[in-house]
Amino acid sequence: MGNYTADGGTTGPPGTGVQSVDRAVSVMEILAQRGEAGVSEVAAEIEVHKSTAFRLLGALEARGLVEQAAERGKYRLGFGIVRLAGSVMGRLDITQQGRPVCERLAEEIGETVNIAVLREHYAVNLYQVRGPGAVGTHRWVGQLTPLHATSSGKILLAHLSAKERAAALKASGMEKLTPRTLTAKTKLEKNLTETRKRGYAVTLEELEIGLHAMAAPIRSGDGEVIAALSASGPAYRFTEERIPELAPVLVNGAEEISHRMGYAG
């Protein structure tokens, strides 16, 4: 018998590691739906022997992902799920807390506003609001963008430790995307030092020709930079001269989101 899947199908040969993972996930889905379930119920649901279901529940219990309910023999989801979900919930909180600020800034600045977080050696955009003049603008949500060539990426890089920054840049390859992309580490480090001093990052046609952007840091309750708030637009309108004039608006917006996230600084 192959793996049990959520849609009732099977995947992979019996006895594989993939099958065990698939069954374990199915067990947690059953507990999420039912609240509590016994070994026999779980075994019947995923079509395995009772001893197999018992082993799966035991392995999940050892990791804190399930726990035995007050009634012995019944299992429910454990608080280990909260630990695993914590990082995702933090990102969801950023978009929830940042939504009204982004909407206001898109109107005030007149350009596209994004919230991005660090994912491996990329900046990934979680939320976007288009400004009134941003007709036909690129949809950045879900996009993995290079750290060295984006304003959000520069903010995230600037607040990593030197060791973490070096590892991220090495993994990225620092590709030259336009003639203005910074690919020399010494020049980029100087740029990041300036970014930290003035409180916001700037990219001028470093990701795409004709695209300018700026970004400011969003902090968590303990002061750690957890995201970047950016504004981007066409170079002919979002000019190098306008960016410093509008930067305080963006920085204040990032600070407001930070305070919403519990930052008291």
Q: Is residue 75 part of a domain?
A: yes
Q: Is residue 7 part of a domain?
A: no
Contacts of 62 (CB under 8 A, 6+ apart): none
Number of domains the chain contains: 2
Q: Is residue 5 part of a domain?
A: no
In the listed set 53, 86, 119, which residue is the last one of a domain according to the structure?
86
Overall average pLDDT of the 128-153 stretch: 81
Q: Is residue 33 part of a domain?
A: yes
| CATH number reported for the structural domain that contains residue 40 in this entry | 1.10.10.10
Specify the pLDDT at position 31.
87
Q: What is the pLDDT confidence band of residue 10, given thresholds at 50, 70 and 90?
A: very low
Name which of 38-52, 138-152, 167-181 the model is least confident about. Answer: 138-152
Residues 100 and 226 in one domain: yes
Residue scoring higher pLDDT (139 or 119)? 119
Residues 115 and 207 in one domain: yes
Q: What does pTM read for this prediction? A: 0.67
Residues forming beta bridges with residue 228, ordered by sequence position: 116, 217
Residues 167 and 208 in one domain: yes
Cα distance between residue 41 and residue 77, in whole Å:
15
Residues 115 and 227 in one domain: yes
Name which of 93-97, 136-140, 186-190, 234-238 the model is least confident about. Answer: 136-140
State yes or no: pLDDT of 136 exceeds 90: no
Name which of 5-19, 21-35, 174-188 the model is least confident about. Answer: 5-19
Domain that holds residue 113: 91-261
In the listed set 71, 86, 101, which residue is the last one of a domain according to the structure?
86
Contacts of 166 (CB under 8 A, 6+ apart): none
Quote the Cα angle for 23-27-31, to 5°. Answer: 170
Specify the pLDDT at position 11.
40
Q: Is residue 11 part of a domain?
A: no
Distances (CA, A) of 14 to 23, 42, 133, 189: 11, 18, 56, 52
Q: Is residue 225 part of a domain?
A: yes
Residues 112 and 202 in one domain: yes
- DSSP class of 262: T
State yes or no: pLDDT of 226 exceeds 70: yes
Give the length of the chain.
265
Residues 69 and 180 in one domain: no
Residue scoring higher pLDDT (88 or 132)? 132
Q: What are phi and psi of 165, to 5 degrees?
A: -65, -45
State yes or no: pLDDT of 166 exceeds 90: yes
Distances (CA, A) of 193 to 73, 157, 159, 160, 187: 59, 10, 10, 12, 10
Mean pLDDT of all residues belonging to the chain: 86
Q: What is the pLDDT confidence band of residue 12, given thresholds at 50, 70 and 90?
A: very low
Quote the Cα angle for 227-232-237, to 5°. Answer: 160
In the listed set 40, 63, 86, which residue is the last one of a domain according to the structure?
86
Q: Is residue 13 part of a domain?
A: no
Residue scoring higher pLDDT (70 or 177)? 177
| CATH number reported for the structural domain that contains residue 236 in this entry | 3.30.450.40
Distances (CA, A) of 219 to 98, 152, 229: 12, 13, 11
Cα distance between residue 115 and residue 254, in whole Å:
10
Overall average pLDDT of the 99-127 stretch: 92
Residues 212 and 235 in one domain: yes
First-to-last C-alpha distance (Å) of the chain: 58
Q: Is residue 250 part of a domain?
A: yes
